[in-house]
Structure 1
Amino acid sequence: MPPAAPVLTARVGLVVGAVLAVAVALLAAVVAGITAPSGLADPGAVTRWGTPVVTALGELAGAVVVGALLLLAAVLPRGTGRAASDGRAWPATTLVAAVAAGVWTIAAIGDLVLGYATVSGTPPSAAGFGSELGLFVTQVPLGRTLVALVVVAALVCVFALLVATPRGALATGLLALAALALQSQTGHAAGDANHDLAVTSMFLHLVGAAVWIGGLAALALVAHRLGDDLGPAAARFSPIAGWAYLALAVSGTVNAALRVDGPGDLLGTDYGRLLVAKVLLFALLGLAGLGHRRAVIPRLAPTASGRVPPLFWRLVAVELAVMGAVSGLAAVLGDTPPPVPQAPTGELTPAEIVTGHPLPPRPTTELWLTTFRWDLLVAFGCAAALVVYLRWVLRLRARGDRWPVARTLSAVVGLLLLAWVTSGGPAVYGHVLFSAHMIQHMIMVMVVPIFLALAAPVTLASRALPVRKDGSRGPREWLLGTVHSRWASFFANPLVAAVNFAGSMVVFYYTPAFEYALTTTLGHLLMVVHFTLAGYLFVNALVGIDPGPSRPGYPIRLVLLFGTMVFHAFFGVALVTQETLLVPEWFGLLGRPWGPSALEDQRDGGAIAWGISEVPMLALAIAIAIQWTRDDERTARREDRAADRDGGKELAEYNAMLARMADRDGAR
């Protein structure tokens, strides 16, 4: 095989995957009737046939961008001086990301133009189409979202060319994820009656697909430059692909449940039949990935001539081809009307108009414990964190190291509690009752962090994760680099952590941040992340085990703790005595036939903020006192051992000093 054959094979595989994606998208569009003329408001043949093509190519290009940046940030070495690992794959991968981002930008522009043509029923060649498109991108939310997607994709293209470090690759990758977040708000999710769940499940689906498809495609394009590092790179990507597959399965199941009602819709509608075909291809893709992991990765060593084994190319070609077909079906599914109406039907209640959800019944103890409205991203993150934590514990035990059972139980309780408080009764009723929202907030910021800090996840990770020695940055390097960074040291400082822990509550509730968290999915997610992390940093500074802060003496810790207790008390009193309603256009317009008035409920929330904080604060005070006592005992034992070793020399010198001082006083 000539030297250029691996590159040609990888490019042919990608082209075949893209062609299959377009072909399957067109075939599915014909089956679903999307390409047929739509009567009076027909956008034209170019729009009808071009939309599935542009969408499929755009999704594939975006996936390659995310996958390539992931390889740069966490998989590929930058060079160690060895001939087989000289970092030649690094600049090639940045070029792959930049070119794919350019294609993504062009496809996003085409999607914007054809999307407006579809919505308006106007062909792009019609007179006045340009001026109408201008109004669409400036006045209509969907148009603003699509043009923002174009801008972000273009910025990713520019920044990808400038990437020189894993940190830069991570920052650019986060920008690409922002584009996927914008994309998740289009299509069926934009007008779904269960908007929050639809958007989060679509975002999780897009990220999972991008990581798996794009990562494998980028790895195939640069495999011939990796040399001896091909095997380690593929082995590192394999578990990432496994998590991406799981994210696709979970989010796909949720999306299907929102849009299909029973087996009859699966076989009796165009959407259902396309969904069944996608599920079958997805299962085939999973089997191919499993075979790739078990059969190929252990044997991934370059041949004597330095070329990549042919088995790798065959399996990559098959997997990319199936991925292309799945992507084509996914592109058409986004434009096919589902059997279950996605827009709310009938006369909307005030609660549905304001919150997007029906008003729940009067809260009871049973409903608080059994009612769920899944926060998919947080719930999936908690489940993934729990699985990873337990795997780390098992890894330590397998090599003979011990990990306290109490820490494991603390992690389980903390993560399950976080999942419940963001998806269970506190989340459902916290959307319509300020008092319930305050219960959710207090548990999230004051109770969950205690369990997470006592679980010592950073300490466990630093012991369980392998060390990278080839110049790449793995999970351990990223984690420890973040923990020991200047920003982390600043926010982990006990005084800063205490101010952030207490002060951010005032900033949150008395600024538009509270309304933003109530009305947007991103705002809600940022609220959960910020307050959980702020609570963890504060608790870790006081009684934690993980590295990070320079912890002060125990008296200072008690002062910080009691200071935050006083602040929480003042905050609760302020809410109890307040005469105006926070976010009145939300809590004041729900039309609740049960419970207290909105202002009385807000005062109840202030009392909860005042009273519920006392219990975890008291628990922290007791923990500090216990640690203080144990520290004194350890110090005493250490001094006793030192005295035994040197015969009490230090004590004898001290007594002699006192005797000399007494003699001098007597002489005077």
Structure 2
Amino acid sequence: MTSVMVSPRATRTLGTLGAILWMVLAALLAAWLTGGLAPLGVPGLPDPGATTRFGLPIVQALRDLSAMLTVGALVVASTCVPPGEDEDEALLAGVRARLVAVAQLSATAWAALNGLLIALVFSDASGSSMEAEGFLQQAVFFARSYELGQYLLWGAGLAAVVAAGCALASRTAALGALAALAVVALWPMALTGHATGALNHDEVVNLQMFHLVGIGVWGGGLVALALVGHRLGPSLGTVARRYSTIAGWCAALVTASGLAGAWLRVPDLASIVSTYGALLALKMTAVILLLLAGWWHRRTLLAQVVAGRTKAFWRLVGLEVFVLLGAAALGVVLGRTDPPSTDGDSTSLTMVQSLLGRSMPPALDATGWLTRWSPDSLFLPLGLAALTWYLVAVRRLRRRGVHWPWLRTACWVIGCLLFIWAANGPPATYGRVLFSMHMVQHMTIATAVPTFLVLGTPITLALRTLRRRTDGSYGPREWLLTAVHSLPAQLLGHPIVAAALFVVSMVAFYYSSLFGLSLEAHTAHVLMTLHFLLTGYLFAECVVGADPGLERPSYPLRALMVMVTFGFHALFSVSLMASTTVLARDWFESLGRDWGASLSEDQYLGASLGWALGEYPLAVMAVALLVSWVQADRRERRRFDRSELREDDRQLRAYNDYLQRLSQAGPRSRSSTMAGASAPDEDRSTE
């Protein structure tokens, strides 16, 4: 017998093609079993043709795989892989350059496949064949005029920007920005996936975003590691250990978001027997298998990789890729399968339910300020994660015997609790129904929350607790330092820019269509919340911050900044109180609220609350500024005293010598000096 030798490169190529083929076949098989490949047979709706019915799951599976690989390759390159011997601190080369090339290729495919999806989705929704006359013009109109087409177009554009950035990237600092941009590019996918629905749409979109981020970093990183693992050499064990830690957190994120999404989409246990429930159960089974494989990685195989025995490791990686791509293929079919019907079916929704995604809340009373909660599946986890991280970091410092001021901890806890209350409590429940409650939410997030968060000095805490890497790779600590010292951070954190953003953005937001858009669109609401939280944080950091990174003005200028900025804020509130134009009138009138104050009265109340709610953060900021000013003066005096002690009171002795010379000066010299000083006056009087 003659044995056929296959080169390692050919083996990797065959493995890559096999993975792609497996995901496509799994998606087609699941679609066939659920009836997704058969003609709809709906009277009045024509069949778009076999090209659309078969092409849609294939293209979507390839798009999802490209997105996963893009995100995973960039995250692995930016956080796990150390620079090679032929790579300096700035220039990319070796394995990291290889990963960026993989990300560039996959991002290009992501953009192209998203563009093709526009045509396929339009064909599927309209029932028109892709070969029909005028189809291209209709698909372009669909992409520009309808939300679903716009989301796909935005996804293609963001993926194209990531591909262009990968082509231009030559420095390590660019990897973090590209990885973050790739994660942001997943947001349109969350808006168009099986998160869409009638009630609780916004909550399921948030959960779908968490799910996509977790599966992208986890699965895409695993595929990227399999593609470049042979090039890592002795550093494979280190890279695998770092990736395993990230994958563990991503697995927890995928599991939690998947369970929460299933709880929202599947109304009861009996619905599990539906097609949607069966697909969901299969996907969760695949996730459980992956969790077991990850546990086995951490427990047994990582030690073998460090010791140089990698054969069992790569076999398990291949099995994980197989299961993970199968789960992703099930996700493709889930996106085209209707969830079980509920009492809130879209056919029986009222106007208010279709606009808000939930029923109209009852009239706001005194107890409602504490009891009317609407948990947000995006901001609630983020707020709890920030609170948990801070407390764990403080506990870690104390275990090392390092003191951390309790007042900083208290400020951070207050800031997190205020954020959770504003984004999930009564202000969130009534923020899209009452302008006054929207203003409560906005001013809490833009002024109070940032002030307390800044006083918690989170960057200092992170730098004291995060581990420093010594092999040239970038971990959380290195990326944090890179971010705070980056040009965008220095530009946005400049005192003038930060103050201008804080004031101008508020005026531009309310006196333009952006306010109405934030009430109507979930994406605009998320961007609005993040924008005002960031601008408020930058302004507070310039005034009362103590974290490293930004250059702050002198204390008198800081006090002037506070007075001028909050003076403009008070002027804005007064002008809004005096205005007779109701902001976002069409939106509030379409809700048909039959309780509470009128629109004009509620807007006047909201402007008054906005003015009042800007005062107590101002008081906190003023007290913190005064305290830090006094402490800075004390530190300066102590520094001066230490300097004088080291120099044997050199400046004090020089000053005493100067006074002694003045006292020893004779009356004649003093009178001559006085005469010389008065001579010009005498000359002028003579003239």
TM-score w.r.t. length of structure 1? 0.90
Change (3 A) 1:364 1:313: same
Shift of residue 333, structure 1, vs aligned partner: 0.8
Q: Which amino acid aligns with 2:257?
A: S
- Which of structures 1 and 2 has the larger relative contact order (alpha carbons within 8 angstroms, sep 6+)? 1
Correspondence 1:216 to 2:216: no
Correspondence 1:621 to 2:627: no
CA RMSD of aligned residues (A): 3.0
Change (3 A) 1:347 1:51: closer
Structure 1: distance between partners of 2:143 and 2:501: 39
After superposition, where does 1:46-85 map in structure 2 within 5 Å?
46-81=51-86
Correspondence 1:119 to 2:125: yes
After superposition, where does 1:5-24 map in structure 2 within 5 Å?
7-8=9-10, 10-24=12-26
Correspondence 1:43 to 2:45: no
After superposition, where does 1:185-264 map in structure 2 within 5 Å?
185-264=191-270
Moved more, 57-66 or 530-539: 530-539
Change (3 A) 1:143 1:609: closer
1:449 maps to which residue?
Answer: 450
Moved more, 585-594 or 646-655: 646-655
After superposition, where does 1:269-348 map in structure 2 within 5 Å?
269-301=274-306, 303=308, 309-340=310-341, 344-346=346-348, 348=350
Structure 1: distance between partners of 2:304 and 2:328: 29
Give the conservation status (yes or no) of the 8 Å contact 1:197–1:376.
yes
Residue 473 of structure 1 aligns to a residue in which SS? coil
2:549 maps to which residue?
Answer: 548
Superposed CA offset, 1:608-643 (max 9, x none): 122222222112222222233333344444555556
Q: Which amino acid aligns with 1:61?
A: S
Structure 1, gaps ≥5 residues long: none
Structure 1: distance between partners of 2:302 and 2:405: 34
Residue 550 of structure 1 aligns to a residue in which SS? coil
- The structure with the larger Rg is 2
Give the conservation status (yes or no) of the 8 Å contact 1:11–1:221.
no
2:33 maps to which residue?
Answer: 31
Structure 2: distance between partners of 1:632 and 1:527: 39
Shift of residue 513, structure 1, vs aligned partner: 2.7
Give the conservation status (yes or no) of the 8 Å contact 1:74–1:473.
yes
Shift of residue 142, structure 1, vs aligned partner: 2.4
Moved more, 238-247 or 173-182: 173-182
Q: Which amino acid aligns with 1:230?
A: L
After superposition, where does 1:217-616 map in structure 2 within 5 Å?
217-267=223-273, 269-301=274-306, 303=308, 309-340=310-341, 344-346=346-348, 348-349=350-351, 351-352=352-353, 354-616=355-617
Change (3 A) 1:212 1:7: farther
Give the conservation status (yes or no) of the 8 Å contact 1:26–1:52.
yes
Residue 459 of structure 2 aligns to a residue in which SS? helix
Residue 300 of structure 1 aligns to a residue in which SS? helix
Change (3 A) 1:17 1:389: farther
Shift of residue 126, structure 1, vs aligned partner: 5.4
Change (3 A) 1:7 1:392: farther
Change (3 A) 1:504 1:137: closer
Structure 2: distance between partners of 1:543 and 1:152: 36
Shift of residue 442, structure 1, vs aligned partner: 1.4
Shift of residue 284, structure 1, vs aligned partner: 1.3
2:678 maps to which residue?
Answer: none
2:681 maps to which residue?
Answer: none
Give the conservation status (yes or no) of the 8 Å contact 1:373–1:428.
yes
1:88 maps to which residue?
Answer: 94
Change (3 A) 1:37 1:635: closer
1:182 maps to which residue?
Answer: 188
Q: How many residues align?
A: 661
Moved more, 603-612 or 356-365: 356-365
Structure 1: distance between partners of 2:628 and 2:146: 59
Change (3 A) 1:531 1:147: closer
Residue 546 of structure 2 aligns to a residue in which SS? coil
Give the conservation status (yes or no) of the 8 Å contact 2:439–2:610.
yes
Correspondence 1:142 to 2:143: no
Structure 1: distance between partners of 2:159 and 2:644: 69
Moved more, 315-324 or 406-415: 406-415
Change (3 A) 1:633 1:129: closer
Change (3 A) 1:657 1:74: same
Structure 2: distance between partners of 1:86 and 1:165: 5
Shift of residue 129, structure 1, vs aligned partner: 4.7
Give the conservation status (yes or no) of the 8 Å contact 1:80–1:470.
no
Structure 2, gaps ≥5 residues long: 671-687
Superposed CA offset, 1:447-479 (max 9, x none): 111221121111122222233343433322222
Structure 1: distance between partners of 2:4 and 2:382: 46
Moved more, 331-340 or 123-132: 123-132
Structure 1: distance between partners of 2:145 and 2:633: 67
Give the conservation status (yes or no) of the 8 Å contact 1:43–1:122.
yes
Q: Which amino acid aligns with 1:280?
A: T
Superposed CA offset, 1:83-136 (max 9, x none): 9x9942123212322332344345435533432332223444556655554543
Q: Which amino acid aligns with 2:80?
A: V
Give the conservation status (yes or no) of the 8 Å contact 2:144–2:150.
yes
TM-score w.r.t. length of structure 2? 0.88
Shift of residue 141, structure 1, vs aligned partner: 3.2
Shift of residue 31, structure 1, vs aligned partner: 2.9
Structure 2: distance between partners of 1:253 and 1:567: 47
Structure 2: distance between partners of 1:86 and 1:561: 44
Change (3 A) 1:620 1:92: closer
Residue 319 of structure 2 aligns to a residue in which SS? helix
Superposed CA offset, 1:540-593 (max 9, x none): 222222013333333332222222232222122111111111222223433211
Change (3 A) 1:383 1:359: same
After superposition, where does 1:627-666 map in structure 2 within 5 Å?
627-640=628-641, 648=649, 650-664=651-665
Structure 2: distance between partners of 1:512 and 1:439: 20
Structure 2: distance between partners of 1:406 and 1:127: 70
Structure 2: distance between partners of 1:183 and 1:416: 31
Moved more, 533-542 or 332-341: 533-542
Structure 1: distance between partners of 2:294 and 2:376: 29
Give the conservation status (yes or no) of the 8 Å contact 2:198–2:354.
no
Structure 2: distance between partners of 1:474 and 1:252: 28
Superposed CA offset, 1:141-193 (max 9, x none): 32343344445444544443333223433444444344422222224444433
Residue 617 of structure 1 aligns to a residue in which SS? helix
